């Protein structure tokens, strides 16, 4: 049961609506269902207690119309559903009893207070900026009913003289419902304006927050791009350092193995030459210095080439 009520109170509410539109559709559905429940209770009273079957039929007509409103909202006939809620119950419950004379003196009192309360309902259901025409029409309609319902009742009936005297007293009989009408209307207008002001401020704040969030997302993406570039640069530098380390290792290997051999032979021949004074021996020793010297020269050239490659990598990197 509660689940069905919740479903019908949300009939016609869609995600593309703003919060104010959703609230107005919800109120239309909720108020129509509430009035339908009231019609059921009053209709049962008309049948079981007062045996006023004409009144019960009228309650049934209002009941059907009220149950139709959520369906109309579901079909997106929003203005039509609100107009039905504001117009037809008053015609059925107020107009028909007056025309056919099916009312009792107590209705002199509650009819005008009911219409006075309904003067503010259009401001609750319609948007003041978009539907000012609807609001004006229904406000004037209920204000007119509040002002002249007693005259209509007197015209179509013959109430007791005491009731006539009461109705003729404007201060006691007419002024209170008029006060109710204007008080409820002005209060609702003030509420709508305040609510609209805070909603605009909230929308502005939400927009600023969304813009700030977009800026933060852009900055975050920028930082992620910088981090990716840094990672690539670190990886590139690491590879360069590893390459240079290999070159240094190669240089150390050349120095440790290739240079020592020819250098040791040259130093050995020089040492031997110090113990000989024979020109032929010295000549033979100097001739033997040629191959290791050439070999050493080639090795030195290889070392220079390796060092030049290292320096060239540094220049390219810069």
pLDDT tens per residue across span 230-265:
888 888 888 888 877 777 777 667 666 667 777 777
51: left (phi over 0), alpha (psi -120 to 50) or beta: left
pLDDT surpassing 90 at residue 85: yes
Instruction: State percent of the chain over pLDDT 90.
Output: 17
In this prediction, residue 314 carries a pLDDT of 54
Least confident of 71-85, 128-142, 225-239: 225-239
In this prediction, residue 228 carries a pLDDT of 83
Least confident of 57-61, 155-159, 195-199: 155-159
Residue 104 main-chain phi, psi, to 5 deg: -130, 165
Average pLDDT, the chain: 80
Contacts of 270 (CB under 8 A, 6+ apart): 289
In this prediction, residue 236 carries a pLDDT of 85
Query: What's the alpha-carbon Rg for the chain, to the nearest Å?
Result: 51
Quote the distance between the C-alpha of residue 47 and its chain's center. Answer: 51
Domain boundaries, the chain: 2-214, 259-318
Least confident of 34-48, 55-69, 169-183: 169-183
In this prediction, residue 313 carries a pLDDT of 55
In this prediction, residue 315 carries a pLDDT of 45
pLDDT surpassing 50 at residue 217: yes
How confident is the model over 106-129, as pLDDT tens digits? 666 677 788 888 888 998 888 888
How confident is the model over 133-185, as pLDDT tens digits? 999 999 999 988 888 877 776 666 666 565 666 666 656 667 888 888 888 88
Residue range 278-295: mean pLDDT, rounded: 74
Q: How confident is the model at residue 34 (pLDDT cuts 50, 70, 90)?
A: very high
Residue range 34-49: mean pLDDT, rounded: 90
Contacts of 98 (CB under 8 A, 6+ apart): 152, 153, 156
Give the best-scoring range by mean pLDDT among 13-27, 77-91, 221-235.
77-91
CB 187 within 8 Å of CB 121: no
């Amino acid at each position: 049961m509660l689940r069905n009520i919740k479903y019908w109170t949300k009939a016609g509410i869609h995600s593309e609506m703003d919060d104010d539109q959703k609230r107005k559709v919800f109120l239309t559905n909720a108020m129509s269902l509430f009035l339908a429940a009231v019609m059921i209770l009053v209709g049962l009273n008309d049948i079981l207690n007062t045996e006023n079957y004409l009144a019960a039929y009228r309650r049934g007509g209002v009941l059907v119309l009220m149950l139709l409103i959520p369906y109309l909202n579901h079909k997106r006939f929003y203005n039509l559903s609100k107009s039905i809620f504001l117009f037809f119950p008053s015609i059925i419950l107020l107009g028909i009893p007056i025309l056919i004379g099916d009312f009792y003196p107590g209705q002199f009192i509650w009819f005008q207070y009911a219409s006075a309360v309904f003067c503010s309902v259009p401001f609750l259901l319609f948007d003041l900026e978009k539907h000012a025409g609807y609001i004006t029409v229904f406000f004037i309609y209920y204000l007119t009913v509040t002002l002249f319902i007693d005259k209509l009742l007197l015209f179509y009936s013959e109430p007791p003289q005491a009731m006539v005297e009461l109705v003729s007293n404007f201060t006691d009989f007419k002024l209170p419902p008029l006060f109710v009408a204007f008080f409820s209307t002005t209060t609702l207008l003030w509420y709508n304006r305040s609510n609209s002001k805070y909603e605009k401020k909230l929308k502005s704040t939400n927009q600023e927050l969304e813009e700030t969030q977009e800026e933060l997302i852009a900055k975050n993406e920028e930082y992620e791009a910088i981090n990716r570039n840094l990672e690539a640069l670190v990886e590139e530098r690491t590879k360069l350092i590893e390459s240079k380390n290999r070159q240094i290792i190669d240089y150390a290997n050349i120095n440790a193995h290739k240079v020592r051999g020819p250098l040791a032979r040259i130093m050995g021949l020089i040492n031997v030459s110090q113990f000989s004074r024979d020109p032929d021996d010295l000549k033979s020793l100097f001739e033997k210095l040629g191959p290791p010297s050439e070999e050493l020269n080639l090795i030195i050239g290889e070392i220079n080439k390796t060092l030049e490659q290292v320096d060239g990598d540094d220049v390219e990197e810069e």
